[in-house]
Amino acid sequence: MKAKRDYPVAYITTKGARWAGGGHPWIYESDVARVEDGAENGALVDAVTESGKYLGTGFLSEKSKIRVRLVSRNANDTFDQAFWRRRVRWAWEYRKTVMGDDVSCCRVIFGEADGFPGLTVDRFNDLLVTQTLSAGIERLKPVLFPLLADVLREDGVALRGLYERNDAALREREGLAQGKGWFPLEELPEPGSPVTEICENGIFYSVDVENGQKTGFFLDQKYNRRAAAQLAKGRRVLDCFTHTGSFALNAAKGGAEGVTAVDVSESAIAAARANAERNGLDDRMAFICADVFELLPKLEEQGHKDFDFIILDPPAFTKSRGTADSAERGYKEINLRALRLLPRGGYLATASCSHFMPAGRFERMLRDAARDARVELRQIEARQQAPDHPILWNVPETDYLKFYLFQIV
């Protein structure tokens, strides 16, 4: 198929064409032979081989190493408002299918997995929160964001506002300024407070979309929290890296005898304590502001055997291949300490949210930690992110969350 010639053309090298032909939507700077004059940063270009064979149409990013992000491989597509409305509707209908009625707090758009490269959209009850990490989506916002609000409103979703969390360093790689604030929508002129309340797994949380981490709350562990809660009944639980208390609260609601929640951030501990009080669970919960890497060895040295269920849900220890080795050492340290603290018959929940720590490597680390702790791991479940964060098999970057439940034997 020859080039459509609807847009300026980006000529792709043989190596780049082979990569794009394998299904990945990114074409790197080194694989772009040249771009025709008239192509604008963030605008659409037709990607073609040097002989003129059409590969797809995507956003040009002049500042990024990812030079072209394909949005379609269909030569018949017309990228008008109707096209983007269909794609938004497709993403929303998928969430309703895989989440059922559980869509009051969910990820509505997950970047490349939904055909919107560089865009994240989360719904927190009456607020939408977006993060834009590509020049193409930045340019498309005036068209896309009103469509997004309109599609949800047509489906009966009562929205109060759309908040942009563009305070991410990755934007600088696209030549985009950082910032955050309300996106102006004519039909939602006065959004009010950036704080809202969500209910997940029957637990209420206050979510501050302006100041919370990422977009305000981590939604990808929703069903993993519920799985952990099923093991918590009657147990003494230590929740490490608790953040705003989500795993700890699920464990307490699941009938834990007691839950100790630990985080290095005083503000996170304050939020977790407030969430516990909101849900009437504070009578069985304790909160410690401490560095987990310091606390676990201290508990081991003191001979503590106070916990029979430990949950490890750390932030990403690596965001690049270059730091994966040190990240693995960090993961092994906390898992080894946890395994030494747990009694035979105890339970461990452990996770990694880094794409650069693939499942095979993470599992090898866990085997090494178990060997060094002189215990055996009996796997209960191996889980991934919730289905509102779909994994696109031709885009490995969408497959990032690993979550395991074990019994120590």
Among residues 148, 239, 133, which one has the least CA distance to residue 187? 148
Decide: 162 and 180 in contact? Cβ < 8 Å. Answer: no
How far apart, in Å, are the Cα atoms of 327 and each of 294, 332, 369? 16, 9, 14
φ, ψ of residue 315 to 5 degrees: the values are -65, 170
What DSSP character marks residue 292?
Answer: H
Among residues 229, 215, 266, which one has the least CA distance to residue 244? 266
| Pairwise CA distance, residues 74 & 16, whole Å | 18
SS3 269: helix
Q: Residues with catalytic annotation?
A: 353
What DSSP character marks residue 284?
Answer: G
Q: How many CB atoms lie within 10 A of CB 280?
A: 11
Would you state the structure tokens that stand for residue 110, as one six-digit string?
Answer: 């997950």
- Sign of the Cα torsion 247, 248, 254, 258 reads positive
Would you state the structure tokens that stand for residue 365, as one six-digit string?
Answer: 């680390």
What DSSP character marks residue 381?
Answer: E
SS3 158: coil
Residues in a beta bridge with 258: 236
